[in-house]
Amino acid sequence: METILQANDLSKDYISAGERTEVLKNISLSINKSEFVVIAGSSGSGKSTLLSILSGLDTATSGRVIMEGRDITELTEDQLGQVRNRLTGFVFQAFHLIPSLSALENVMFPAELNKDREAKQKAAALLDRVGLLHRQNNFPSQLSGGEQQRVAICRALINEPQIIFADEPTGNLDKNNSNNVIKVLLDLHDDKKTTLVMATHSRSLASHADRIIQLNDGRIEEEMRVGP
């Protein structure tokens, strides 16, 4: 299988009030195209930090991230922004929708940055797919948590990324909304064969993964193959 994402000896340190804290410690891993990988671990294990570095939203103290054969740790911020917008989509626990934009406009936003003339049609089609076309003109404050997360998933998919990163996508949702969001993510992953890398506490979500990478205290403690 073809590798789409690789991390080599990633470490991440923070210094606060003169104290140095190691969040990630020499992590190496590889992820294949179309694979669904869950990064698991307790709070403080480093999984969100690892996800942010793998996606290019944050930088490591040392080590390298190779995405589609390109070392993204050597890119300028402008170059990195272009790579993120072209190759990746990110779904956050806290949704991060723009309050002043409608659901449709939130989904359109990344495509408009790419000057995609079909942004509106693509956004409407995605909202229709997740059952929210009738809510396209509503603002985030007028949507439930589950609806906001489905809008956020559509936004992450609008540029047809190679890799979707999701950080605790059901963390702020009740069980019913969590199940709806899980179904949307899994259906889209199965249909588009997009690589899915997710940090989650959800056992239900993890049970659908191809592989689980278990972190403990900033290190990979265990890797488990789940799927066939």
**How confident is the prediction along the chain (228 residues), in pLDDT tens digits per residue?**
799 999 999 999 988 888 888 999 999 999 999 999 999 988 888 999 999 999 999 999 999 999 999 999 988 888 888 888 888 999 988 889 999 999 999 999 999 988 899 999 999 999 998 889 999 999 999 999 999 999 999 999 899 899 999 998 888 888 888 888 888 888 888 888 889 999 988 777 788 899 999 999 999 999 988 866
Question: For the chain, what is the domain count?
Answer: 1
- What pTM does this model have? 0.90
For 65, the enclosing helix (H) or strand (E) is: strand 62-67
CATH number at residue 150: 3.40.50.300
DSSP classification of residue 143: S
* Greatest distance between any 2 Cα atoms in the chain: 53
Q: What domain range is 146 assigned to?
A: 3-225
At 206 the three-state DSSP class reads helix
pLDDT at 228: 60
For 11, the enclosing helix (H) or strand (E) is: strand 3-16
Instruction: Please give the C-alpha separations between residue 202 and each of 80, 173, 175, 199, 215, in angstroms, as whole numbers.
Output: 30, 11, 11, 9, 15
The CB density around residue 167, as the number of other CB atoms within 10 Å, is: 21
pLDDT at 86: 84
